[in-house]
Amino acid sequence: MKRPEIARGFSTQSVHAGTYHDAETGGACSPVFTSTAFAFPNASAENFYPRYFNTPNQKVICRKIAALERGECALAFGSGMAAISTLLLAHLQPGDHAVFQSDLYGGTVQFVTRELLRLGVEVSWGATQEDFAAALRPETRVLYVESPSNPLLRCVDLRAVAKLGRQHRLLTVVDNTFATPINQNPLTLGIDAVIHSATKYLNGHSDVNAGFVAGAEAVIQRVAATAVNLGGMLDAQACAQVERGMKTLALRVERHNANAVAIARFLAEHRLVRQVNYPGLSSHPDHETAAAQMRGFGGMLSFEFHDSRLIDVSLTHLRLIMPALSLGGVESLICVPSRTTHRTLTPAQREGAGIRDGLVRLSVGIEDVEDLIGDLDHAFSSATKATR
Ligand SMILES: *Cc1c(COP(=O)(O)O)cnc(C)c1O
């Protein structure tokens, strides 16, 4: 029973897109094919093998993310970093030049500085549209950005990035992990490739490491040719977990969005808080850019205390929100970027990047927002008493 894939709304696609319809049993869920050996030739005369990125459960989640991101196809990886490294290694040669946004995910920065440079790829960093344009050289091949970025939630104009890429024949790449396909679809804005750490919102339950690259067939085919050699695939069981997680993506993201807006407003009005960084607030420097390319503003925000001494005491008084790295799960997590994600930068580098010691990052979960605000309120008042 093969049913045609029709373009539908995001909630419908989260649930249905890509499902493997099991003709024998009529089961509602995709069966899990754990085999690493498949009889040759199988029904489609394709040699299935997990490291060839072509097994049934890999295809299920690739069809789902491709439908949600409005791409032609996708590849599923064992982590976001496997997706990022494979995409970049597939498209860059020694002597090539690539331009990266300066406030990227730390693991991506580390991959660029420790691996790409060693392989003879030249790189430039930039924060704005003007920086990216000024950095271009005849041998530039890739322009790579993240929007919203971590931890200040800065947003770059993705239509402008796509235009620059078309004018100079570059591969444009957007890490869409923070936004999710529910809030933002870079491919429809003209971007060539979208990256996801599916470890975060797509799986959404903080229990699987996975990644995706999505885009046009030509882009993905080139990545697939390298992926087979690097071997960073996702196994069938993990694919099935990611598929289940993604079925509730649209529903979860609606709640993440709504909770984050409410918490951003609560924080913006709080007397202990000096600044809130959330692209949904009109006070955010990139609010207009975000509003022009996002349907919702996501579940990530950061804020700064007037007095950075309040951080430690408030974190110890939280009863619900957990101090932890990572993000995008159903549970709310909080961390201090200057001590965790951006610890390896020098204080001067952090100051230059706008990441002050009083900055706190919050991954807003899908709990009842009254409980989350109550938790913050209680922790803040306890901290005020303790430091008085
Ligand atoms: C976590 C993350 C990654 C890396 O993903 P892993 O699954 O941990 O390898 C890449 N980009 C962003 C924006 C992330 O948050």
Compute the C-alpha angle 238/242/246, nearest 5°. Answer: 170
Residue 1: per-residue pLDDT? 42
**Cβ-Cβ contacts under 8 Å for 176 (sequence gap 6 or more):** 69, 184, 186, 194, 195, 196
Q: Which two tokens mark 50?
A: 């997990």
Question: What is the CA(80)–ligand 1 centre distance, in A?
Answer: 5
Domains and CATH numbers, the chain: 10-246 (3.40.640.10), 249-386 (3.90.1150.10)
Return the closest-CA partner of residue 198 out of 155, 245, 161.
Answer: 245
C-alpha 17: how far from its chain's center?
20
Active site residue 175: yes
Residue showing tokens 């996708």 = 74
- Residue in 200, 201, 208 to alter for ligand 1 test, most ligand atoms within 8 A of Cβ: 200
| Choice among 96, 175, 192, 375 that is catalytic | 175
Residue 354: per-residue pLDDT? 81
Q: What residues form DSSP beta bridges with 359?
A: 304
- Cα dihedral: 285, 291, 295, 296 (round 10): 30
Residue 324: helix, strand or coil by DSSP?
coil
Residue 228: per-residue pLDDT? 98
| Choice among 200, 247, 252, 255 that is catalytic | 200
Evaluate whether 233 touches 58 at the Cβ level (below 8 Å). yes
Residue 73: helix, strand or coil by DSSP?
strand
Return the closest-CA partner of residue 351 out of 312, 304, 315.
Answer: 304
Evaluate whether 361 touches 300 at the Cβ level (below 8 Å). yes
Please tell me the pTM assigned to this model.
0.95
Question: What is the CA(176)–ligand 1 centre distance, in A?
Answer: 10
Q: Closest ligand 1 atom, CA of 198?
A: 7
Question: What is the CA(196)–ligand 1 centre distance, in A?
Answer: 7
2-10 LR contacts (CB < 8 Å, sep 24+) = 5/63, 5/67, 7/67, 9/250, 10/68, 10/181, 10/182, 10/249, 10/250
How far apart CA 319 and CA 79 sit, in angstroms, is: 30
Q: Which two tokens mark 351?
A: 């100051």
Compute the C-alpha angle 212/82/31, nearest 5°. Answer: 50
Compute the C-alpha angle 383/368/288, nearest 5°. Answer: 85
Upper half-sphere CA count for residue 123 (Cβ side, 13 Å): 23
- Residue in 77, 87, 105, 109 to alter for ligand 1 test, most ligand atoms within 8 A of Cβ: 105
Evaluate whether 263 touches 379 at the Cβ level (below 8 Å). no
Residue 45: per-residue pLDDT? 76
Return the closest-CA partner of residue 153 out of 377, 336, 355.
Answer: 355
Evaluate whether 207 touches 71 at the Cβ level (below 8 Å). no
Active site residue 105: yes
Residue 12: per-residue pLDDT? 97
| Choice among 20, 49, 51, 222 that is catalytic | 51
For ligand 1, residues with CB inside 6 Å are: 79-81, 105, 107-108, 146, 150, 175, 177-178, 197, 199-200, 209, 211
Q: Is 13 exposed, middle or buried (0-12, 13-18, 19+ CB in 10 A)?
A: buried
Upper half-sphere CA count for residue 52 (Cβ side, 13 Å): 10
Helices within the chain (DSSP H only): 10-16, 56-69, 80-91, 106-111, 129-135, 158-168, 180-183, 217-230, 236-247, 249-268, 287-293, 310-316, 347-353, 369-387
Question: What is the CA(39)–ligand 1 centre distance, in A?
Answer: 36
Evaluate whether 350 touches 295 at the Cβ level (below 8 Å). no
Question: What is the CA(108)–ligand 1 centre distance, in A?
Answer: 8
Q: Which two tokens mark 172?
A: 């444009």
**Cβ-Cβ contacts under 8 Å for 131 (sequence gap 6 or more):** 125
pLDDT tens string, the chain, 388 residues long: the values are 445 555 689 999 999 999 999 999 999 999 999 999 998 776 677 889 999 999 999 999 999 999 999 999 999 999 999 999 999 999 999 999 999 999 899 899 999 999 999 999 999 999 999 999 999 999 999 999 999 999 999 999 999 999 999 999 999 999 999 999 999 999 999 999 999 999 999 999 999 999 999 999 999 999 999 999 999 999 999 999 999 999 999 999 999 999 999 999 999 999 999 999 999 999 999 999 999 999 999 999 999 999 888 898 889 999 999 999 999 999 999 999 888 878 877 888 788 778 888 899 999 999 999 999 999 999 999 988 887 7
Q: Closest ligand 1 atom, CA of 210?
A: 7
* Closest protein CA for atom 6 of ligand 1: 80
Q: Which two tokens mark 344?
A: 């390896």
